[in-house]
């Protein structure tokens, strides 16, 4: 009669521990999210409470925090900030953010080029 | 008499299945996805079949994070919304009619995520209230119109019993006065529903190229 090997028992215990967490795998976040989605929420649902100036302030603070933590800001973040600058008529800053989005995430190139071309006309 | 490791595993698996409260669901068939794996996903504002008028944007502002954290490029949802409105699509219903070839050629999207809110909001009763978020999702390839993935989630939370603390802790401090969990608890429940929708084992959304789990399936 053989005793169960330590290895075998360890595997069983590990499987047990994993299994108890249930049916969803919580994944680590890839980005520094800050207030990105919260500002989007506020812009639509309670716009009077968070004008574009205030949203930009929150996002720029988030950017500093992301830099300090050496994490990336999420996809779409720079384009969103650019769109806020555009709303305030700050076209140079808007253009810079759209270019940064394109550089950080090449998947955005077609859309960013279109927005940059529209910016040129305005 | 010793117990063989293999039987230990079987017992543990059975127990954890019970404790985890797993529903046995048939694994999703990912063969379409494997044939056309997208890098970028256009998340359109959801169709809102609920009675909550704020549903579309209250929910839309919770979808970027789970999809981007799955490893995809997610187009900036508010910029896309504005862009489509300025191009003759004033409502979510009209946006969801966008021809797929246009989503590819104008925006550069590999896939479009079509969302429908079946239920969204709170029902208040004398001594009780329950907040419900029910959402359906369809991910469609823009070049072939193939359905790459679909999912469904129904989350119900009773803030009086269990969810009050959970809801409050989900609200980021910087905007806690703006986002009032009491008046829009569905917004908070959305994030829980999204965990079920995107991360459920064997049926969730596969991992995209920016994820360390790229090419893995839930």
pLDDT tens-digit map of A58-69: 999 999 999 999
Give A21's contacts (C-beta < 8 A, 6+ positions apart): B20
Q: Residues 34 to 53 of A: which have CB under 8 A from any B CB? A: 35-46, 49-50
Distance in angstroms (rounded) separating the CA atoms of residues B102 and B106: 5
Q: Write out chain B residues lying below 8 Å of A25, CB-based.
A: 199, 201, 204, 218
Least confident of B8-17, B107-116, B182-191: B8-17
Q: Residues 9 to 28 of B: which have CB under 8 A from any A CB? A: 9, 12-13, 15-17, 19-23
Residue that wins the pLDDT comparison between B53 and B63: B63
| ipTM of model over 0.85 | no
Query: What Å distances lie between residue B187 and B52, B151, B204, CA to CA?
Result: 11, 19, 21
Both tokens assigned to B136: 């359906």
Among B68, B108, B187, beta carbon nearest to A31? B68
Name the minimum distance, in Å, from the CA of B125 to any CA of chain A.
25
**Which of these, B188, B95, B102, B201, lies nearest to B151 by C-alpha position?**
B201
Residue A31 confidence (pLDDT) above 50: yes
Distance in angstroms (rounded) separating the CA atoms of residues B4 and B6: 5
Question: What pLDDT is stored for residue B177 in this prediction?
Answer: 46
Grouping H, G, I as helix, E, B as strand and the rest as coil, residue B137 is strand
Confidence of residue B202 (pLDDT cuts 50, 70, 90): very high
Give the CA count within 13 Å in the CB-facing half-sphere of A61. Answer: 11
Q: Write out chain A residues lying below 8 Å of B54, CB-based.
A: 44-45
Task: State mean pLDDT over A23-51.
Answer: 86
**Taking all residues of chain B, what is their mean pLDDT, rounded to a whole number?**
84
Contact B63, B113 (CB under 8 A): yes
Whether residues A107 and B78 touch (CB distance < 8 A) is answered with no
Grouping H, G, I as helix, E, B as strand and the rest as coil, residue A3 is coil
Give A26's contacts (C-beta < 8 A, 6+ positions apart): B195, B199
Distance in angstroms (rounded) separating the CA atoms of residues A34 and A47: 19
Contact B163, B185 (CB under 8 A): yes
Residue A113 confidence (pLDDT) above 50: yes
Both tokens assigned to B3: 């117990």
Residue B72 confidence (pLDDT) above 80: yes
Distance in angstroms (rounded) separating the CA atoms of residues B193 and B186: 10
Question: Of A37, A82, A102, A116, which to mutate for an interface test with B (greatest number of B Cβ within 10 Å)?
Answer: A37
Whether residues A80 and B39 touch (CB distance < 8 A) is answered with no
Whether residues A25 and B74 touch (CB distance < 8 A) is answered with no
A1 and chain B in contact, CB less than 8 A: yes
**Which H or E run contains B31?**
helix B31-35
Among A30, A31, A107, beta carbon nearest to B40? A107
A83 and chain B in contact, CB less than 8 A: yes
**Which H or E run contains A36?**
helix A36-45
Contact B130, B119 (CB under 8 A): no
Residue of A nearest to B19 (CA): A20
Q: Write out chain A residues lying below 8 Å of B21, CB-based.
A: 22-23
Question: Of B63, B175, B205, which to mutate for an interface test with A (greatest number of A Cβ within 10 Å)?
Answer: B175
A121 and chain B in contact, CB less than 8 A: no
């Amino acid at each position: 009669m053989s005793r169960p090997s330590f290895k075998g028992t360890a595997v069983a215990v590990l499987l047990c521990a994993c299994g108890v967490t249930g049916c969803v795998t919580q994944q680590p976040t890839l980005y520094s999210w800050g207030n990105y989605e919260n500002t989007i929420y506020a812009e639509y649902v309670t716009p009077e409470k968070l004008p574009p100036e205030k949203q930009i302030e929150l996002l720029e603070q988030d950017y500093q925090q992301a830099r300090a933590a050496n994490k990336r800001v999420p996809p779409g973040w720079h384009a969103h900030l650019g769109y806020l600058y555009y709303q305030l008529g700050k076209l140079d800053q808007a253009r810079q953010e759209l270019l940064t989005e394109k550089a950080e995430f090449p998947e955005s190139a077609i859309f960013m080029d279109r927005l940059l071309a529209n910016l040129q006309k305005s | 008499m010793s117990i063989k490791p293999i039987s230990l595993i079987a017992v543990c698996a059975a127990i954890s299945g019970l404790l985890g409260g797993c529903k046995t669901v048939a694994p999703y068939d990912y063969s379409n996805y494997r044939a056309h794996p997208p890098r970028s996903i256009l998340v359109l504002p959801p169709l809102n079949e609920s009675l909550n008028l704020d549903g579309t944007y209250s929910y839309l502002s919770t979808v970027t994070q789970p999809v981007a954290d799955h490893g995809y490029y997610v187009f900036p949802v508010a910029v896309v919304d504005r862009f489509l409105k300025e191009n003759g699509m004033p409502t979510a219903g009209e946006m969801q009619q966008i021809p797929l070839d246009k989503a590819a050629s104008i925006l550069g999207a590999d896939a479009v995520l079509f969302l429908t809110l079946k239920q969204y909001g709170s029902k208040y009763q004398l001594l009780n209230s329950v907040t419900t978020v029910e959402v359906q999702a369809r991910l469609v390839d823009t070049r072939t119109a193939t359905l790459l993935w679909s999912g469904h989630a129904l989350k119900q939370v009773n803030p009086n019993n269990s969810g009050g603390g959970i809801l409050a802790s989900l609200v980021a401090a910087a905007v806690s006065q703006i986002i009032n969990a009491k008046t829009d608890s569905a917004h908070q429940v959305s994030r829980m529903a999204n965990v079920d929708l995107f991360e459920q084992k064997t049926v969730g959304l596969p991992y995209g190229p920016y994820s360390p789990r790229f090419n893995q399936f839930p």
